[in-house]
């Protein structure tokens, strides 16, 4: 099954819902960055939340998420857009711990419990929205829930999960975001809260083979869900050799000359996808001519 996202309404439009399968997307991130198990869970949860938040945008809008905790992972960065593309990385990918008391990967310990979650939305025309909240858990699902309630004033529930195999490959990943709309009745809220208490972890539902539509059915009951749209999603970086060439060009002829004289070549590295681009001496000479 390919990764995809579903947008839906539930309970006569009083709940806005998103559900997504991200197994292949997180697998691509794991492969590119060689993340160890706990690091994979952390970046996987972040990518999953990020791609759902991207799906809330329109047109050319995009967003950046930065999670800065006091754990050994260091900062986590995720970029996403409105068409299902997401990319991201964790500063220290080689982090893993024994399972926590609940038998799960100890993401809280890896991320840390003191720090911040920042979301920057680029909504075009050099117009940006920025929201920043303190970390409340380090498990990330609760932290994104707190972000929506505090920074965007939207009562929400965010569930994100990743199952990792012993060989570090990704077994299952996915998530959901539920958002309560104005005018929702208390009895409906209570019904949702009770369901959230008993539903299995989202990663377990993905492992069982449930589709995003079926996950929403588990949350609300199939009769209460109205599917609005489905969207393919994938790990997609915006880097290219041309972009890095333009960046080198921007350094100016003097700096390019130094590269040629000192190393005879240059290598550019993209943090988001771990791709490397080599510029030969001849290519640098051409860039130097342009810069002059």
Both 287 and 160 in a single domain?
A: no
Q: How far is CA 242 from the centre of its chain?
A: 25
Q: For residue 34, what pLDDT is reported?
A: 96
Contacts of 3 (CB under 8 A, 6+ apart): 20, 21, 22, 23, 24, 25, 232, 233, 234
CATH (domain of 251):
3.90.1280.10
| 179 and 286 housed in the same domain | no
**Alpha carbon distances (Å) from 126 to 57, 179, 197:** 16, 28, 42
Q: Are residues 156 and 202 in the same domain?
A: yes
pLDDT, tens only, 17-41: 999 999 999 999 999 999 999 999 9
Checking if the pLDDT of 88 tops 90, the result is yes
- 194 with 256, same domain: the answer is no
127 and 191 together in one domain = yes
Domain that includes residue 276, residue range: 241-291
Residue 76 has pLDDT above 90, yes or no: yes
What are 120's strand-pairing partners?
Answer: 64, 130
Q: Which of 206, 235, 264 is the last residue of a domain?
A: 235
Mean pLDDT, rounded, of the chain: 93
User: Same domain for 245 and 218?
Assistant: no
CATH code of residue 203: 3.55.30.10
Q: Are 181 and 199 part of one and the same domain?
A: yes
> Same structural domain for residues 85 and 162?
yes
Residue 126 has pLDDT above 80, yes or no: no
The residue ranking higher by pLDDT, 128 or 42, is 42
Same domain for 186 and 98: yes
| Domain count across the chain | 2
């Amino acid at each position: 099954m390919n990764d995809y996202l579903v947008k839906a309404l539930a309970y006569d439009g009083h709940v806005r819902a998103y559900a997504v399968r991200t197994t292949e997307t997180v697998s691509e991130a794991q492969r590119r960055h060689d993340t160890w198990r706990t690091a994979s869970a952390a970046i996987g949860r972040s990518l999953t939340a990020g791609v759902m938040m991207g799906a809330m945008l329109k047109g050319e809008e995009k967003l950046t998420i930065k999670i800065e905790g006091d754990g050994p992972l260091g900062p986590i960065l995720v970029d996403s857009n409105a068409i299902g593309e997401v990319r991201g990385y964790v500063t220290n990918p080689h982090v893993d711990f024994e399972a926590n008391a609940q038998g799960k990967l100890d993401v809280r310990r890896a991320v840390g419990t003191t720090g911040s979650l920042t979301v920057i939305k680029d909504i075009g025309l050099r117009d940006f929205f920025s929201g920043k909240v303190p970390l409340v858990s380090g498990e990330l699902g609760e932290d994104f829930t707190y972000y929506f309630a505090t920074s965007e004033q939207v009562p929400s529930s965010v569930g994100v999960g990743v199952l990792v195999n012993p060989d570090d490959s990704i077994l299952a990943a996915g998530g959901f975001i539920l958002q309560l709309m104005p005018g929702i009745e208390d009895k409906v809220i209570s019904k949702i809260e009770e369901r959230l208490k008993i539903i299995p972890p989202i990663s377990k539902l993905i492992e069982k083979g449930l589709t995003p539509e079926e996950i929403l059915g588990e949350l609300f009951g199939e009769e209460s869900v109205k599917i609005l749209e489905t969207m393919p999603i994938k790990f997609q970086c915006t880097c290219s050799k041309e972009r890095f060439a333009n960046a080198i060009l921007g350094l100016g002829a003097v700096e390019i000359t130094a590269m040629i004289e000192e190393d005879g070549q240059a290598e550019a590295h993209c943090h988001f996808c771990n791709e490397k681009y080599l510029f030969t001496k001849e290519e640098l000479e051409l860039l130097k001519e342009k810069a002059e």
